[in-house]
Structure 1
Amino acid sequence: MKVAVLALGSRGDTQPCVALAQGLAGRGHEVLVVAARRYAHLVGAGVLHVPLSVDPAAVADSPAGQAWLASGPLGFVRGFRAVVEPLAERLVAEVDAACAKADLVLAPALGALGRHLHERYGMPYRILHFQPSHPTGAFPNPLVPAATLGRLGNLASYAAVERLSWLVLGRMVNRLRARVLGLGRMRGSPFAADRRARVPVLCGVSPHVVPRPGDWPEHVRLTGYWTLPGQELDEELAAFVEEGPPPVYVGFGSMVPADPLLVAERVEEAVRLAGVRAVVQGLPVNGSAGVFPVFESEHAALFPRMAAVVHHGGAGTTAAALRAGVPGVVCPFFADQPFWGRRVAALGAGPPPLPIKRLTVGELVERLRAVPIYQEKSQYIGRLLRAENGVKNAVDLIEES
C-alpha cells in the first residue's frame, strides 16, 4: 500500500508523523512524508521525503509571524489571512502533486486536506490528532483556556472552535478547492462531515496522560505517542551534561517571547538563585557559569539526562518530557499549551502552569526549587509511557481498517 503522511507544521508536528511513517514502512508499505525541506534529516531510510517549499518555522520566525502569534485569539484570527493565505495555494498544489497516486492519506484535521484529496482522487484517508480534539463532555476543546465548562459547556466548546475555524478558513478553502483542486464549494464544516462519515481518527496521545473519554465513538482511538528514537547528543553538550549534577532544560520551541532578552535575563538569574545548571535553547542568554546555550537539541536523547524541563507546553515537547520521566515546568504561550500544562500538573509530574507572561525570576525560582517534589510521579509516568508502543498500535489500526 502506498501511504502519504502529511506533516504540515513545526518540528513537534513533524516528528510524530515521521515515526508513524517509519512504522508503516517497517511493515512493508511504500510511505512518503510530505513535510518542510528543513526536516529532511528526520525522515530516515526507507521513507520518501517530499519537500514542501513552504516552511512553517520560517513563517513563525518572521516579523509578521511573530506579531501574529503574539496577537491573542482575535488578532490571531484577523492575521490568519495576511500570514497564511499567501502561501496556501503553493502548499496545496505541492500536497496535491505528492498525494495523487497514494492509496491512503494520513492528514491532520486542520484544513481538511484528507477530505479534499479523497474527493479529488477517491482514496481513503485517516485523520491525525496531536491533541484530543474530538468532542467530549469530559473536558473542553484543548484550544479553550478553561479547565472545565461543565459537561454541556465542554461539548459546546468544540462546536465553537470548529465554527470559528471554518469562519476563518472557509472562504480560503473553497477558493483553493476551485482554483487548485478543481472541486466544488463545500457548503458546511468539513469537521462535521468527517464525523458523519465516521472517518477514523488516530490520536497520537497516551491514555496514561489523557484518559480516553467514555463518550468517544469507536472510530476515534487513542493510540499512545508516536515517538522517534533519540539520536546522540552533540559532544560539547554531552560533556557539559556529564561534568556536574543533572541540569535543567529551558526552551520554548518555536515560540518566541515578546521580549526575548528580558526572558533570557530572568531565566539566567532564576537558574543562578536556584543553584542549578541549565541547558537553554533558543534564548539569547549570556552563557554565564553553569548555563549552556544551544540552538537546537534532540529532546529524546537530552531530556532523560535533565533534572527538569522548563518548556512552552507544546504537545510534542510535553510528551518527550513525560516519557523521559522528569518533572515539567510548563510556561504556556497560547493554543493547546495551557491544556498540556494542566495535564502535567494533574498527573503530579510538575507544578501548576506558569504562563510566559507571568514568568518572573521569583516564580521560576520557586518552581525550580520544588522539582524534587515531582520526581517520583514523573518517573512513574515515564515508565508507563516507555512501555507502550503508540506507533505499533496506530499501524495495527491502519492495517485493520
Structure 2
Amino acid sequence: MKILITAAGSYGDVAPYTGVGARLQEAGHEVVLATHDTYAPLVRAAGLGFRRLPADPRTARPADGAPEKSPSPGGNRALMRQAAAFIHQLGGGLAEATPQDTELLLLSATTAPLGRHLAEAMDIPCLDLPLVPNAPTRDFAPVTSGGRSLGRWGNRTTGRLALRVVDRLYAGAARDLRARLGLPPASPRTVRRRAEAADRPVLHGFSEVLVPRPADWRPGLDIVGNWWPWHAPDAQLPAQVEDFLSAGPPPVFIGFGSMASGEGERLSDLAVRALRRAKVRGILQSGWANLSTQPHTQNPDSPDDSYNSPTSPTFNDSDILTIGEVPHALLYPRMSAVVHHCGAGTAAAGLRAGVPTVPLPVTADQPFWAARLASVGAATTPIPFKALASEDAMPLLAEAIIRATIEPALRRRAADAAHRLASEDGSGAVARTVDRLSA
C-alpha cells in the first residue's frame, strides 16, 4: 500500500512519525513522509520517501509580517498568531506534497484539519494519528489550558470550545484548499463532525501510563502507546559525549527543544549556575534557544539547523558539555535526571529512560505533560517557565535538580513507569490498523 504520512511543526511534532513509517515499511508498505526541509535528513535516514512541506514554524510570520519569537511566558496570543501564519502557508503546500497514487493518508494533529479535505478529494481513507489527546472529555481540560482540571462539566465544555478554536484557525486555509481541489464549500467543523459521525478510528501516540483512556470517549478513539523516533540499530553517541560520560558520574540533561528562541544567553547562564550550585555535572542541548556555556549571539529569525550541523559536541568546561541533536533514546538512560520543557515526546523519552524529570513547561500542551509526570511521581513539582525570570530562579532550579538526583522515590517511580512503557508497541498498533484498512 502506498502511504503518505503528513507531519508539520517542530522536531517533536515530526520525529515520532519516522518510527511509525519505518515500522510500516517493515510490514511491506511503501511510505513517504511529507514534512519540512529541516527534517529531510531524518526522514531519509529512516529509509522513507520525503516530500517537502513549505511552511516552517520557526520562520512563519503573521499576515502583517511582524516577526514572532518562539513561544514565551504569557505568549499564548503570540502562539496563536504564529500558528495562523504557519497554517496559511501549509495549506497549498500539502496538496502539492501529496502524490497522485497515494492510497492512504496518515495525519498528524497539525495536518489533519487540512488532510481530511485531501482524502475527500482523492477518495482515499485517512487515519488521524495525534500525539496529544484532543477529543473533549470530562476527565481533564484541553491540553492547552494549563493542565488544571475545571471540573467534569467545565473540562468537557472547554474541550468542545478548543475544537472550535482549531476550526477557526484552519478555516481560511481549508476554504482555499477545497476551492483548489474542486470540492464544494464545507467548514473544518463540518468535515470534522462527518469524521466523528462515521466513527473513524483515531490512534493516539502516547501512553496510558500518563493518560488513561477517558471512559466518555467514543469507540474508535484509542491510546496505543508512544511512537519513538527512528534511529539506526547500531547508532551510538558521538565520541565526545561518550568521553564526557566516562569521565565522571551521570550528569543532568538540560534542554528546551524548540522553545525559548532568542533567550539562550540568559538561560545558559541560569543553567550553568544551577548545575554548579547543585554540585552536579551537566549536558546542555543547544536546541532553538541555542544553549551554550560560551558567550554567543543568535539571530532568532534564522532557520533551525540543529539536526544537521552541531552533531560534534565540544567541551566547554570540565563538568559541563554542550551538544546538538542526539537521540534521546541513547542519551537519557545515561543521565541522573532530565530538565526540559515537557513537550509530549521529550516527556515520554525521559519516562522511557526511567530517570526523574525536572519540568520547566513553557506553553501549549507542556504544562499538561509536566503535571502528568508529577502525578505519577516521576518528576519534581513543575516550575513554570516564567518563574525562570524571577530573582530566585537559580536556587529554585538548583533545589529541583538536587531533589531529582537524590530522592530514591522519584527514581523508583520513574523506573516503574519505564517498565510499563517497555511493554507497549505503539507503532505495531498503527501497522495493525493499517492492515485492516487495506484489507
TM-score normalized by structure 2? Answer: 0.85
Question: How many aligned residue pairs are there?
Answer: 396
Counterparts of residues 197-276 of structure 1 (less than 5 Å):
197-228=198-229, 230=231, 231-256=235-260, 259-276=263-280
Map of 1:182 onto structure 2:
182
Unaligned runs of 5+ in 1: none
Map of 2:379 onto structure 1:
350
- 1:268 and 1:288 in contact (8 A); partners too: no
- 1:298, distance to aligned residue in structure 2 (A): 1.6
Distance 2:249 2:413 in 1: 20
Map of 1:365 onto structure 2:
398
Map of 2:123 onto structure 1:
122
Map of 2:423 onto structure 1:
387
Distance 1:272 1:260 in 2: 18
Q: Is 1:398 paired with 2:434? A: yes
Distance 1:163 1:284, change over 3 A: same
3-state DSSP of counterpart to 1:239: helix
Q: Which one of the candidate residues 284, 288, 294 is aligned to 2:323?
A: 294
Distance 2:238 2:99 in 1: 36
Work out the percentage of aligned pairs sharing the same amino acid: 33
- 1:323 and 1:382 in contact (8 A); partners too: yes
3-state DSSP of counterpart to 1:50: strand
Distance 2:209 2:275 in 1: 31
Counterparts of residues 1-40 of structure 1 (less than 5 Å):
1-40=1-40
- 1:67, distance to aligned residue in structure 2 (A): 5.7
- 1:86, distance to aligned residue in structure 2 (A): 5.6
Map of 2:86 onto structure 1:
84
Distance 1:56 1:257 in 2: 12
Distance 1:200 1:312 in 2: 30
Q: Is 1:167 paired with 2:168? A: yes
Q: Identify the range of structure 1 (288-297 vs 42-51) with the bigger mean alpha-carbon deviation.
A: 42-51
Distance 1:394 1:79, change over 3 A: closer
Deviations along 1:253-285, whole A, 9 cap, x unmatched? 011166332221111000001010111012132
Map of 1:278 onto structure 2:
282
Distance 1:99 1:202, change over 3 A: farther
Map of 1:74 onto structure 2:
77
Distance 2:350 2:71 in 1: 28
Deviations along 1:312-347, whole A, 9 cap, x unmatched? 010111111110111111101100000000000001
Q: Identify the range of structure 1 (248-257 vs 104-113) with the bigger mean alpha-carbon deviation.
A: 104-113
Map of 1:94 onto structure 2:
96
- 1:205 and 1:224 in contact (8 A); partners too: yes
- 1:53, distance to aligned residue in structure 2 (A): 4.0
Q: Identify the range of structure 1 (50-59 vs 303-312) with the bigger mean alpha-carbon deviation.
A: 50-59
Distance 2:230 2:357 in 1: 20
Unaligned runs of 5+ in 2: 295-315
- 1:42, distance to aligned residue in structure 2 (A): 2.3
Q: Identify the range of structure 1 (64-73 vs 260-269) with the bigger mean alpha-carbon deviation.
A: 64-73
Distance 2:107 2:197 in 1: 18
- 1:64, distance to aligned residue in structure 2 (A): 2.1
Distance 1:35 1:300 in 2: 22
- 1:300, distance to aligned residue in structure 2 (A): 1.0
- 1:289, distance to aligned residue in structure 2 (A): 3.5
- 1:198, distance to aligned residue in structure 2 (A): 1.6
- 1:303, distance to aligned residue in structure 2 (A): 0.5
Deviations along 1:336-363, whole A, 9 cap, x unmatched? 0000000000010011211111121011
Distance 2:242 2:57 in 1: 29
Distance 1:46 1:294, change over 3 A: closer
Counterpart residue identity of residue 324, structure 1: A
Counterpart residue identity of residue 363, structure 1: L
Deviations along 1:190-248, whole A, 9 cap, x unmatched? 43332122221010011122111111222111111111355311111111112100001
Counterpart residue identity of residue 184, structure 1: P
Counterpart residue identity of residue 20, structure 1: V
Distance 2:138 2:338 in 1: 31
3-state DSSP of counterpart to 1:66: coil
Distance 1:46 1:176, change over 3 A: same
- 1:36 and 1:56 in contact (8 A); partners too: no
Distance 1:244 1:69 in 2: 34
Distance 1:26 1:300 in 2: 21
Deviations along 1:49-75, whole A, 9 cap, x unmatched? 223343344549x98241666662233
Distance 1:146 1:305, change over 3 A: closer
Distance 1:45 1:236 in 2: 24
Counterpart residue identity of residue 77, structure 1: M
Map of 2:138 onto structure 1:
137
Map of 1:306 onto structure 2:
335
Distance 1:59 1:294, change over 3 A: farther
Counterpart residue identity of residue 69, structure 2: Q
Distance 1:251 1:46, change over 3 A: closer
Distance 1:146 1:241 in 2: 35
